[in-house]
Every structure is written in C-alpha cells, then in structure tokens.
Amino acid sequence: MKIKEVAEKLGLSARAIRFYEEKGLIAPSKGDNQYREFSEQEVWRLQTVIALREAGMSVEDIRRALQEWEGRDHERLQYYLELQRSALFAKWLEIKSMIETADSMIEMVKKEGALKLDNLYALAEASRKLRGSRNWEDKWNYDSRAVLHDRNVRSAAEYAGYEEALELAVEWLAPAPGEKGLDIGTGTGNLAGKLMEQGANMTGVDQSKEMLKQCGRKYPKLKTKLGNFLALPFIDERFDFAVSSFAFHHLAGEQQTLAAKEMRRVLKPHGRICIADLMLAEGDPPPLPEEDGYPSLSGLLAWFDGNGYITKHRRIQGRLHVVFAVPIR
C-alpha cells in the first residue's frame, strides 16, 4: 500500500506519516523506485501510533510502549498505558479547575461590573496552589516495600492495630452485595479483599506498580488502577463508598483537604467515606518529628461537618483512628 492510500484510509496527511517515520515509530519498506510500501503490519502499527497519540502520549512514550509490545512484555506495556491514563485524569482535573476559576471570574464581573485586581489575584493564587497540591511524590519508595508489605503489617510498630482497624472499617461500611467501592492506596489489597468477601464490587487504586502487582496475585478479581489520592483516575459519581487505610497520613495539610474532595467527587450522592489511619487527636502527646504532618482528627471531622456529613470515629490504639462519614445533604 502506497503512502497516499494509507493517508486516505487513516485520515492522515502524508506529512504526518513521514513525521512518524522520521521519529522511528514506523519503518515502511522502499522499492527500487524509493516509493514507500506499507505492509498490513505497518498499517496496523501506524493505527496504534495514532490511537496512542489521541490518548495524549508523547512520541517518546509511544516508542517505549511499542518496544514493550513487540517484546511481548505486556506487563510493562500495561504500566505505560496506566501511567498515561493517570496523567490524563490529572490533566483533566487541572482543566476542570481552570474552568471553575473562569466561572468565578465571570460571576464577579456579572455582580460587580468589573474584575477587581485583588479578587483576580486571589483566584489565580488559589488555582496555582491547587496545581501545586496535586503534585504527588513517593518519598517512601513503596515499590521496594511491596514484597515485604504483608509481613510488615503483621509485625511493624507503625501498623499496630492494623487488623482491628480494617475489620472496623468493613463493619461500619457494611457494603450491600454488588455495591461499588473504591480502596485508595490499596497496597496489596488487604482491605479491598475483606470488602469483596462481603459482596462488594471493589476497585483499588495505588501509585505503586509493584504494590498493584502483589495485589493482583492475591486478588485476581480485584480491579486496579494506577493513580493517587490527589487525582483519582475515575469519572465523577462512580462509587457507592470510598475507603482508605494507612495512606491518608502521607499527605501534607492542603493535600489532605484535596484528597477528601477527590473522594467526594468520585462518590455517588450519599456515598460514604471511611478512613483508617494515624491521626493526631486533642490531648495526645506532642507528635514526634516523623509524625509531624499527620492529619488532625478534629480538623478532619470539622471538614466533614462543614461539608454536610455526619461522622463517627473510634480510636483503635495510639494514633490509629477510624473515621466514618455519611452525607446528610
């Protein structure tokens, strides 16, 4: 098939096809007359390139993805695609925030007939802070901890009360058979697995591909996605409940508020939230240096109260608490 025929078939310009050839993404053969000849395999490859470009992947990312595909390393290929999906959701949320900022500016102009500089700056600053808050960094290298994670939760001091906290979260959520639940920071899937045993249709999300790999081996029926608390890779109002254990405390102050909003975003109306995690409560001993930044129990409860939730909570032991929230409006 000649380049003109391929261009017409795929709705591309010949120039675009030559660009992908220059970048090494396709390699059509050339006859004695130096005209490009495209085999069915090359046309399929070009279609794949187009599809991945439509998904927002860079040329370099497409090259790596194709290498993994041709090397039959489907696990690596899936990781690249999951990474791209997560990045697209983060970008979508950023654009959504920009639209909300623009809407706020429009409302100000409608009400006041002008856009005051102070108000404009405040909106721009809020938008900038939000973008900064969404940046996630794995400072704990959870990929390297995945293989030993299940052993650590049974013995490490930081996980004291782990099983009791998970059991209470399951009890309070009390999922009905078939309800859709989201486990954020699912790790190796321990909490999601307990909820599946109750009949819930669970999805787990984690930023560590190695954690998700271990999770998949333990719970092959658990749907998993690569992502994090700050930009959950799901559309709005998808789940009946959201739960998280031993992940929320890794977030900084502003990120904790953003994470709570993200949970609310992906939940259906009246969707419930349960968080089992290390928190600082009033009357507790002062936090150690490594505990600085832990979520404030009273602050979290106040956020839920201010956003129309009723809550209950229980201390399991030490800093470990379980918080359950249900919207009343």
Does pLDDT of 50 surpass 90? no
Q: Please write the tens of the pLDDT for every residue from 286-295.
A: 888 888 889 9
- What is the distance, to the nearest Å, from the Cα of residue 254 to the centroid of all Cα atoms in its chain? 17
Top-confidence residue, 125 or 95: 95
Same-domain status, 191 and 214:
yes
Supply the CATH number for residue 24's domain. Answer: 1.10.1660.10
Residue 73: its pLDDT value, please?
A: 64
Same-domain status, 106 and 66:
no
Same-domain status, 64 and 168:
no
HSE (CB half, 13 Å, CA atoms) of 57? 23
Does pLDDT of 130 surpass 60? no
The structural domain count of the chain equals 3
Same-domain status, 65 and 156:
no
Residue 165: its pLDDT value, please?
A: 98
Where are the alpha helices (H) located in the chain, listed in sequence order? 3-10, 14-22, 40-54, 59-70, 74-112, 117-133, 142-145, 149-155, 162-173, 190-197, 209-218, 253-266, 297-306
Same-domain status, 178 and 50:
no
CA distance 207 to 196: 21
The range of the structural domain enclosing residue 188 comes to 142-327
Q: Please write the tens of the pLDDT for every residue from 285-328.
A: 988 888 888 999 999 999 999 999 999 999 999 999 999 999 99
Same-domain status, 161 and 200:
yes
Same-domain status, 79 and 26:
no
Does pLDDT of 70 surpass 90? no
pTM for this entry: 0.74
Same-domain status, 194 and 151:
yes
Same-domain status, 31 and 119:
no
Does pLDDT of 132 surpass 60? no
Q: Which of 23, 54, 70 is the last residue of a domain?
A: 70
Residue 32: its pLDDT value, please?
A: 78
